Amino acid sequence: MQRRWDAIGKVPRDSVKLVEDRMRKVEAAVRKLDDDHWVRNNPETKARTEGLAGQLHDAIAKLEAELATAEAGTDARAIKDAREALEARKAWLKAIGQ
């Protein structure tokens, strides 16, 4: 688009600013789309997120087993602590979009 604009040649002065402002808006929109795409598909970020998600899934499984053991006993404090830890890990997992 920029090459075509340059090829047009001389343009009335009052039209130049209007057209160039619109072109800058298009360029900014395209740049934002590209940046958004990169943020969503950055392999390094994806790898970190997937690694963290795996760790959280493992922790949740462990905490569910601890909660079951605590519920089998009579220690109310252990049950409360296990539930809180389990809910926290589930919240973390939800926060990273898993």
Q: Which domain holds residue 25?
A: 15-95
Which tens digits make up the pLDDT trace of 30-86?
999 999 888 778 778 777 777 888 888 999 999 999 899 888 888 889 889 999 999
**What's the structural domain count of the chain?**
1
The reply to whether 5 falls in a domain is no
Using the predicted structure, report yes or no on whether residue 91 has a pLDDT greater than 80: yes
Q: What is the pTM of this model?
A: 0.50
Measured distance CA(71)–CA(49) in Å, rounded? 32
Nearest to 67 by CA among 79, 75, 85, 56: 79
> Binning pLDDT at 50, 70 and 90, where does residue 98 land?
low
The reply to whether 6 falls in a domain is no
The reply to whether 69 falls in a domain is yes
53 or 87, which is more confident: 87
